[in-house]
Amino acid sequence: MFKTRIILTAVILLALVGVLLANMVQRMAHFQQSDAAYLRLFKEVVAFTKQSYVEKVDDKKLMTGAINGMLAALDPHSTYMPVTSYNEMKVHMAGEFGGLGIQLGTKDGKLMVEAPIEDTPAFRAGIQSGDHIWTIDGKPTQGVSINDCVSRMRGTPGTSVTLGILREGTKEPLSFKLVRAIIKTKSVKAKLLEPGYAYLGISEFQERTGEDFERALQTLAADNGGPLKGLILDLRYNPGGLLDQAIRVTNRFVGEGLSNGLIVSTKGRSAGSDRQMLANIGEKEPHYPIVVLINGGSASASEIVAGALQDHKRAVIMGTQSFGKGSVQSLITLPNGDGLKLTTARYYTPSGRSIQAKGITPDITVEFAKKPAQPDKKKMPEIREQDLDGHMQQVGAPKEAPAASEPPAAPLDPKAQEQLSKDNQLARALDLLKGVNLLKAGLK
């Protein structure tokens, strides 16, 4: 009887397994048939298009268009990049290349110099903003894409290239023979706004951003003659870039202990996409107050930095709502050298917030305001009590001013003063840093 029950149970289990396997095989067959049906449909559309379209169709154009259309149906950030665009992107993110040092643009179909980069062959040769580059090594630029023109000008350091320039105000074309050099683009700008208070802007997260950022912090402290009293980290119009560099920047301010080291986490569908990126335990920046400036142009990696510092209460976020790009793109090199940028995960701030299509909300919202034009009439002078006839004298006024307990602050750098006068968000950030330090001093 016992053996009969065992045999019956085994038969039932085998029957269940058989049903499950049959169901799985049926589903796989359905998916395979579905995929095969769509592939047949695609082949039919391609064949009909090649046969009946009003003009002869280029096969490469048709296939790349199909790939781009497929990726565009997923999200705005997944894209296919031909080898030239892919290599250009890698060079851009490296922040270092052999070239001339010219920021280019187009105007009315003409290749124009937006600005020469300081201390580069183009800058030293006298290339000017507004110059029209009409030939490169004797070949016209008219009708040539800007990427192809960039490729012509870049090359091995030490080799030469000749630019034909048309400049407003000159009758004859100008010719410049330039020798290519290593051009390093700078993504980090730093300066002391006034003693103790520093500005540090990051335009994009490139391969050397983290290293340059750490070096800039050291230089600022040295120029200040000691630790800073406050820092403004400007991430406005920063479109993002390399995730590891955003983590390295954030690492300078968080992660003193085991419990507060999470910077960002990612979650996706494929194996290995669920990750947690942590700060290194070790020496960090002193706990001076920080204001991070963001706006609608702050996206991706810059939002990771802002979100992490906000969640860890390490900085006050000021400005306007950020862009809201909370997805991670993986770069895949295809067998033919082209590139595939594919969205593979979403990222989350340390508190678990997803900012996808939402962005980082500032702690203090400050809209950027253009400085109003000064009126033509002269401003009336302010009148105070001491200006009135017959005003009472101050009672108990000391005969001599007491000696200052601290040396007077050095005057603002003229360039910093001009920047503050034109940038109300920057000025508000500086005022907040000063206010925090005054409050701390008053509570001691």
23 sits in which H/E element: helix 2-52
Distance, CA of 110 to chain centre: 28
Q: Which residues contact 132 (CB under 8 A, 6 or more apart)?
A: 110, 111, 112, 113, 165, 166, 167
Using alpha carbons, select from 230, 219, 138, 207 the residue that is nearest to residue 177: 138
Catalytic residue of the set 212, 322, 325, 423: 325
CA distance linking residue 125 with residue 162, whole number of Å:
12
Q: Is 311 a catalytic residue?
A: yes
Q: Which residues contact 304 (CB under 8 A, 6 or more apart)?
A: 243, 246, 247, 250, 263, 264, 347, 349
CA distance linking residue 322 with residue 295, whole number of Å:
5
CA distance linking residue 266 with residue 278, whole number of Å:
12
Cα 268–269–273 angle (5° rounding)? 45
Q: Is 358 a catalytic residue?
A: no
Catalytic residue of the set 78, 300, 302, 322: 300
Asked if 356 contacts 304 with a C-beta cutoff of 8 angstroms, the reply is no
CA distance linking residue 365 with residue 322, whole number of Å:
11
Phi first, then psi: give them for residue 104, nearest 5 degrees. Answer: -105, 155
Q: Is 413 a catalytic residue?
A: no
**Eight-class DSSP state of 92:** H
Three-state DSSP class for 293?
strand
Determine the straight-line distance between the first and last CA of the chain, rounded to whole angstroms. Answer: 88
Using alpha carbons, select from 325, 315, 421, 422 the residue that is nearest to residue 364: 315
CA distance linking residue 197 with residue 288, whole number of Å:
10
Catalytic residue of the set 212, 311, 338, 423: 311
- Please give the single-letter amino acid code of residue 430: L
The catalytic site residues sit at 300, 311, 325
